[in-house]
Amino acid sequence: MSTANTLPVSASAPLYIEDIGFYSSLGCGWEINGAAMMLGYNGRYDEVARCALDRKVRGYRRLVSLLKDSIQEIDTKDIGHVLLCTSEPTRVGLIADIHLKQLSEALLDDEEIRQRIGGKPLSILNSGRASLVYAFEKANAVLNQDVDKVLVLFVDTYLMSGTLSALANPPYRERIPHKLRVLIPERNSDGFIPGEAVGGMIISRQAHNADLKVLGTSIQYESALIDTSDVLKGQALTAAYRQVSERAATPVHECRYRMASISGEQYFFKEAGLAQTRALTQKTESQPLWLPASYIGETGASVGLGMITMARYANQRGMAPGAHVIAHCSNDDSARGAFIMEYTGERHG
């Protein structure tokens, strides 16, 4: 994903998140997912949440069917631009160009989806887990061009046969250690559980009926990647924390909790710990780390929407430690995206 035509978000020009739709192994609907995550449920990657989906539907048509269900509750009549967040080009088991072509065709072949987004400019953000932060910055730029609302769609899965095969039997690459990434009992405990999730949200410049406000964003690039032998110092994520704190005019210690895209591997836990320790300018008694992937599995680009879902539900029910959260998304490649978000709505018991 190129940084061209993107614009960092700041406290002087925040973004507002309105309607949300989300579908994961936990179920269909952002409230169902939020409740399940806060209750500690998790959806096994080999099970499908109950839905009216035809079990004979496979591949990209299946993803589009899930997406169609997930965005039923989203009002798309005033959108002026569509962003599609999906897997990064380096995802194992996928050929990037073919993936994007088949996914785009499946979307546009569906009459209902075509009616809802047809005729609107479409930008594809194939940046994996970091897609959410790229989407914020792309939407920020688009909203400066006489567009009232932007629809962001998230469609990603690790359950494609090619990806699952490559995860279980990682291919050898020259000068890169052979590393098993997926969690497999008795073979690898330092891994993740593959999953899939889809959904969408509306971003606007005006508050309207929104209760989540994005105060700042930052994207940095790490050189010590998970599949190299370089020593991880968390420099990029630390820089992202510091920069987003400045742009959001919110010190890191004022964010009462953190959220991350971490799905199980120690590398990303170490990175998160280093960034928090180095970016804090004042000690805080507690700053818990919330991980949606613990409940929905590794869902790539869609984990960002999982974070939005979890934060919104927890704040509405008075279950969040505070109104401000600092969140980050770390890719397998170098992208490290961070954002600070504030809940501005009412809290219900």
Indicate whether 19 pLDDT > 80.
Answer: yes
| pLDDT score of 135 | 98
Give the pLDDT confidence score for residue 49 in this predicted structure: 45
**Which carries the bigger pLDDT value, residue 292 or residue 5?**
292
Phi, psi of 6 (to 5 degrees): -120, 160
What pLDDT, on a 0 to 100 scale, did the predictor assign at position 174?
52
Q: Of 198, 211, 206, nearest to 78 (Cα)?
A: 206
Nearest of 328, 264, 327, 319 to residue 294 by alpha carbon: 264
Which backbone phi and psi does 12 adopt, to 5 degrees?
-75, -20
pLDDT (0 to 100) of residue 45? 43
Tell me what the pLDDT averaged over the chain comes to: 92
**What's the whole-number mean pLDDT along residues 316-345?**
97
Supply 152's token pair. 């962001």
In this predicted structure, what is the pLDDT of residue 55? 63
Per-residue pLDDT tens digits for 95-143: 999 999 999 999 999 999 999 988 899 999 999 999 999 999 999 999 9
- The mean pLDDT value for 294-312 works out to 97
pLDDT tens track for 30-87: 999 999 999 999 875 444 445 555 566 778 999 999 999 999 989 998 999 999 999 9
pLDDT at 73: 86
For residues 122 and 153, give the distance between their C-alpha atoms in angstroms, rounded to a whole number: 10
Tokens matching residue 299 = 């869902």
Which DSSP helix (H) or strand (E) runs through 246?
A: helix 235-247
Mean pLDDT value across residues 217-246: 96
Decide: helix, strand or coil at residue 288: coil
User: pLDDT tens for residues 275-292?
Assistant: 999 999 999 989 999 999
**Against a cut of 0.85, is the pTM above it?**
yes
Strand partners, 213: 16, 342
pLDDT, residue 46, reads 42
**Range of weakest confidence among 44-58, 102-116, 175-189, 226-240:** 44-58
In the chain, which ranges are E strands? 15-24, 27-28, 79-85, 122-125, 149-157, 196-204, 212-221, 257-260, 289-290, 324-330, 335-343
What pLDDT, on a 0 to 100 scale, did the predictor assign at position 98?
95
Residue bearing the bigger pLDDT, 324 or 2: 324
Question: How many angstroms separate the CA atoms of 184 and 118, rounded?
Answer: 42
Residues pairing with 124 in the sheet:
84
Residues 6+ apart with CB under 8 A from 341: 17, 212, 213, 214, 215, 308, 311, 324, 325, 327
Q: In the predicted model, what is the mean pLDDT of residues 315-344? A: 97
User: Measured between alpha carbons, how far is 303 from 156 in angstroms, rounded to an integer?
Assistant: 9
- CA–CA dist 224, 275 (Å, integer): 14
